[in-house]
A and B are shown apart, each in its own frame.
Chain A
Amino acid sequence: MADAEKIIEIEVLRYRPEQDKEPVLQTYKVPFTDDMSVLQGLQYIKDYLDGTVSFRWSCRMAICGSCGMMIEGKPKLSCKTFLREYYPQGLRVEALAHLPIERDLVVDAADFVAKLERIKPYIIPKEARTLEQGEYLQTPQQRDMYEQFSSCINCMLCYAACPQYGLNPKFTGPGVLALLHRYNADSRDGGQDERMKLGYADEGFWGCTAVGYCSEVCPKGVDPANAINQNKMNSAINYFTRFVTPGRADK
């Protein structure tokens, strides 16, 4: 590249379970240009300095949700965070907080995926419809009621942001609860009662203490804090009215 090469120091939290007792920091010097992302910095390390550094990535465009990590202590997507922001002081990258480190910058995502599966993240139709009958009608405004919550890329940054998840990993957590709400808020869906059983539990909405940091770090504007906290009111109303409302499945 034409301009004189700048060098930035990237400190990586390494953890190789086969040799490290606990995570250790390792520093690399990386030449960079202003349009390089943190991910590209790591790729440089892997390609030319040390092939043993492991991290996940794929799309490079902030949509596949693979590349989340702590960058200078904040949960971010490394593909849309740029090295120039940390020059000249350098930066430290670590695996996403609150999640078990599998290896280096790779966290164990099994818990997140298991939770996602549990909330029935699919349409449970309010009224059945055949393909011949065509699509369900849904106005743009009805779509707006859930669209934001459907933009979750499952990057788990919100899990790394939420201290309640860190303190109690049984808590379903922001991203998954946002998806729960996404389906509940869909005009085509009639599965609220089934899903809410999870929401009403201690591990559901009530595990959240409205810290709000999840929404702050979300790269897609999902606002999981809103998805959860607006449901606390619903849950409370349901709690008190369940004995008087006839036909409720979840008494």
Chain B
Amino acid sequence: MSNRRPYVRSMDGWWKRDAYFIRYMAREVTAVFVAAYAIVLLFGLVRLAQGEAAFNGWLQYLKTPWMLVFHLIVLGTFVYHTWSWFNIMPKTMPIMFVGGKRVQPGTITGSGIAAAVVACLAVLLIVKGMHP
């Protein structure tokens, strides 16, 4: 007998409604590239287990233009992943105080990205060091 008829709006295409949502979806889509890269590596592992010929085939495959282009794209998405990962980092951490002062979100993101730069450089150098 009530005249109420609350209207529920559709969520179709919600992620197109706001630039913020598009950025969020871009962040989430990086996962597809992380998966693809992991699968490439996984193939390498399997090939490695299968012996030298198999593994060299994989290495050759990496040199094809398709794979190079693919990896360039993957590199881009990884960099975006790093940036967005540390960008939400302040949200995932408890409120912290250093010397009685609240640690600002910018500081957390900044330190995260700095840590990533250092870690990447370290990896690059270690690998270089192992096989000069």
Please give me the residue from chain B that is nearest to A214 by CB atom: B91
**Cβ of B11: which chain A residues have Cβ within 8 Å of it?**
98, 163, 166-167
Check B95–A163 contact: CB distance below 8 A: no
* A residues 198-239 in Cβ contact with B at 8 Å: 209-213, 215-216, 223, 225-226, 229-230, 232-233
Min C-beta distance of A75 to chain B, whole Å: 10
Min C-beta distance of A115 to chain B, whole Å: 17
**Cβ of B9: which chain A residues have Cβ within 8 Å of it?**
23, 97-98, 101
**Is B90 engaged at the interface, CB distance under 8 Å to the other chain?**
yes
Known contacts A144-B95, A144-B102, A229-B91, A102 near B18 by CB under 8 Å: no
The interface size of chain B toward A, counting residues with CB under 8 Å, comes to 26
Roughly how many angstroms separate A226 CA and B93 CA in the complex, as a whole number? 7
* B residues 1-46 in Cβ contact with A at 8 Å: 3-9, 11, 14-15, 17-18, 20-21, 24, 28
Known contacts A17-B3, A17-B4, A23-B7, A213 near B88 by CB under 8 Å: no
- Which of A17, A98, A216 meets B5, CB within 8 Å? A17
Per-residue contact bits, chain A 1-43, to B (CB 8 Å; 1 contact, 0 not) = 0000000000000010110001100000000000000000000
Roughly how many angstroms separate A23 CA and B5 CA in the complex, as a whole number? 12
**Cβ of A97: which chain B residues have Cβ within 8 Å of it?**
9
Check A100–B92 contact: CB distance below 8 A: no
Check A17–B92 contact: CB distance below 8 A: no
Check A210–B92 contact: CB distance below 8 A: yes
Known contacts A74-B18, A97-B9, A101-B9, A18 near B91 by CB under 8 Å: no
User: Which of B9, B21, B100 has the largest number of chain A CB atoms within 10 A?
Assistant: B9
**Is B94 engaged at the interface, CB distance under 8 Å to the other chain?**
yes
Roughly how many angstroms separate A144 CA and B90 CA in the complex, as a whole number? 17
Check A213–B20 contact: CB distance below 8 A: yes
**Is B66 engaged at the interface, CB distance under 8 Å to the other chain?**
no
Min C-beta distance of A55 to chain B, whole Å: 15
**Is A88 engaged at the interface, CB distance under 8 Å to the other chain?**
no
Which positions in A face B, CB cutoff 8 Å?
15, 17-18, 22-23, 73-74, 97-98, 100-102, 108, 141, 144-145, 148, 163, 166-167, 209-213, 215-216, 223, 225-226, 229-230, 232-233
Sample of 28 A–B contacts (CB below 8 Å):
A17-B5, A17-B6, A18-B3, A22-B7, A23-B9, A74-B18, A97-B9, A102-B6, A108-B6, A141-B100, A144-B95, A144-B102, A148-B95, A163-B14, A166-B14, A167-B11, A167-B14, A209-B28, A212-B24, A212-B91, A213-B18, A213-B21, A216-B20, A226-B92, A229-B88, A229-B92, A230-B91, A230-B92
Nearest 8 Cβ contacts at the A-B interface: A100-B6, A17-B5, A229-B92, A101-B7, A225-B91, A226-B91, A230-B94, A229-B91
